[in-house]
Amino acid sequence: MLFDTSSSEISDQRLIRIAEQEIHVDTCVPEKEDQINILNRYETIVKNSDLRRQMQEILSTYLLFERYFMEESVLKAIALDKYEVGQQCSSIVDDVFFILRKSIRRALTTQSINGTCAVINNVAACLDGDFIAALKAPLKSGYPSGYIDLAQAYNAIQTTLQQGKLHSSDADRSRTNFLVQLNNADMSTEYIETLCQTMEQEIAGTFPCTSSVERQLLDSCLTELKTVRDALKATVDFGMQQLRSSAIKPRLNPWINKFLSYSHNLTEEELAIYEAEETFVQFFIVHLDGLLNSFKTALSPRNYDALVSILATEFTIQLERAIKKCSFNRLGGLVLDQEVRALGTYLTGATSWSVRDKMTRISQIATVLNLDKVSELSEFWSPDNNKEMPSWHLTPNEVRAILALRIDFRIEDIKRLQL
C-alpha cells in the first residue's frame, strides 16, 4: 500500500517534469505565456486523474489504519506499563516513543507531505491526550502523606525478594508509582526533543526540495509536537508542587520550630554550652540529609535538583518566619550568621543547581543581625551608591524591622538610619 502511494506521487512529479521539457523544446509553442498555460492545464489534468484520486484514497485509508494502530498500541503500552525495582522510570516511556517513531517513519515512506503531517499531528494528540493523562493520574492523587525512607524501603524489598516474598502496603506502592510517573514525565521531555531533532533530519532527507508553503506546513507540525514538551514540563512542575505540599513542607515545620526552642540571647558561657551540645544547624542538617537521601536514588537527577531547589525556597521562608518571632543579642546574631552560612554550604553541595539566589534574603537577614552596631549597616548598604541597592532583597522597612530584633540596638538609632 505504501509503495503504491509513493510511486503514484512520484509518477505525477515525473510526468509534470517531462511535460515541462517537451513544452520548452516544442517549436509549435513559441510564446512563453502559451507554454505556461499548457503546462498549467497539464498539471490540472494530472492532479485530477484517476491515478491521483486512487492515490489519495489509498493514502486516506492508510492514515485511518495508522491512527488506529498508533492509538491502540499506545493504550496497550499504558496498560502493560511495568516498573522494575531499582529503576527510576517504567516501561511506558520507551514503549510509547518506540511506537510513535515507527509511525512517523512509516508515514515518511509515503513520500506525502500531507500524510506525514497528519501522522505527526496524531502523534502530538496522542501524547497530549492518553499519554500525559496516564502520567498525571497518580500525580493528581498526590504524594501519600507520611514520611518514608526510600533507601530503607529499597533494602527491605531486596531482602524480601531474596526470600521469595514481597509484601508492600498500598501507601508504599502509591509513593513509588508517584515518583516513577514523575520521572517518566521528566524523561519524556528529553525523548520529545530527541524525536523532534531526528524527525527534522529525516524529513529533510525525504523531502529535499520542498516549497516554502510545504516547509511551513512541516515546521508547524513539528512545533505542535514541541508544544507537548511544554505540557510535560508543566506536568513535572505539578508533581513537584505536590511533593512540596506533602513531603517537604510538613517535614520542615517541626524542624524549623526547633529553632524557636533555643535561646538567641547568649552569654559567653551559654554559647560554650550551646556549641558543646547538638546545635540547631547540626540537628537540622541531619534531618535534611535524611530527607534528601530518601529521594536521591528514587528521583531522576533533574527532578532531584528541582526538589532541592524547592526545599531551599521553603526552608528559607519558614526560617525567616521563625527568626522574626525571636530576639537576639550580639552573640545570638553571630551564631545565626554562622548557621545560615553552614546551611548554604550544605545545600550548595547537595545539588548541581545554584541555590545562591534562594539563600540571598535569609543571608542578608543574618548579616543584619550580626552587626556590632547599627551604624555598620552603611558598609553593606550605602545610600550614596544606588548600584548596590538591587543586590539587597530586603526593603528599608524590613531592614529596620530586623534590626529591631536585636535587644542591644536602640530604636532611636534604627529610626535615624538613612536607607
Q: Between the CA of residue 260 and those of 251, 311, 328, what are the distances in Å?
A: 16, 20, 12
Q: How many residues does the chain have?
A: 419
The domain at 262-416 falls in which architecture? Up-down Bundle (1.20)
The larger pLDDT score, comparing residue 166 to residue 203, is at 203
Domain boundaries, the chain: 49-238, 262-416
Of 250, 222, 2, 240, which Cα lies nearest the Cα of 106? 2
Q: What is the pLDDT of residues 86-117, one digit of tens each?
A: 899 999 999 999 999 999 999 999 888 889 99
Angle at which helices 50-79 and 113-126 cross, to 10°? 20
Condensed to tens digits (0 to 9), the pLDDT of residues 154-190 reads 444 454 444 444 445 778 888 999 999 999 999 999 9
Predicted pLDDT of residue 55: 72
> Which CATH number does 49-238 carry?
1.10.357.50
CA angle 327, 328, 331 (to 5 degrees): 165
First to last CA, the chain: 78
Q: Model confidence over 237-278: pLDDT tens digits?
A: 999 999 999 999 999 999 999 999 999 999 999 999 999 999
* Contacts for 145 with CB less than 8 Å, ≥ 6 apart: 246, 250
pLDDT at 25 > cutoff 50: no
SS3 at position 328: strand
Rounded average pLDDT over 399-410? 95
Task: Give the list of residues 6+ apart from residue 305 with CB closer than 8 angstroms, or none.
Answer: 351, 352, 353
What's the predicted TM-score (pTM) here? 0.79
**Residue 379: pLDDT band with limits 50, 70, 90:** confident
